[in-house]
Structure 1
Amino acid sequence: MTNYDRILIAVVVVLSLAGMYLSKNSIESGDSKYVYIEVDGKPYKEIVFDESTEITTVIDSKYGHNELMIKDGKVKMIDADCKDQICVKESAISEVGEINVCLPNRTLVEIKSADLESEIDYISH
């Protein structure tokens, strides 16, 4: 392996790391986040929020009852009438792409970004 090969490898690694850093920061810096709520695969409600938003919303459907709290830039399922309570025990979500699901009540809560034109499904850390 020559010195030019080593230089080429170093440049490729640096450019790859810079690209991952910039794409991660552009996603996290989006100020316009919203909570997307879906019941039984159909859109139910969208709530725009930031660090200062404090809202409690109730999700009632024929499948069950859920209560969602948005506070300090985090979204937490605080009550549900399902048997296992996994959605309530789950920690609060705050980053774009994170979800909380209540399977018995067919309720999905996801944080999305209004700033992104195309949604990114997953970013590896």
Structure 2
Amino acid sequence: MRILIILTLILGINSCKAQSISENELIGKWILVAETDSFPDDIEPLTENDSDSESESDSKAELKATLTFNKDKTIFINQMGNEYNATYKLTDSTLTLGNRIYIIVRLDIEKLIYKVKDHLFDKNYEYKKAE
């Protein structure tokens, strides 16, 4: 019985430590580098201006977004000059930004990829760590 209690405590402490490591990797400024859809390669998503070649360059301009995660569980969001402050919460692979819920696909010291939870077509957002 004592062994079971000791193992439970050790595993509990390790899981708390693992969670804080992920949060430590999240702290800092992240720059959006890509947005990708989950469409198969042979299916083209419909757009309003398919014939416009400028629409591709405009979509690159729309990628100017940054996320700044702080240790006090607040986040500063800058999307093309529109600035927002919110709170965030990281639980396992679920990231909550304000009232929106995302699933973390990948998180390490250089790259953050997440997708919107419970959408029909997944859109992945890929960020790189600013230095």
TM-score normalized by structure 2? 0.39
Greater relative contact order structure (CA < 8 Å, 6+ sep): 2
TM-score normalized by structure 1? 0.41
Bigger CA radius of gyration: 1
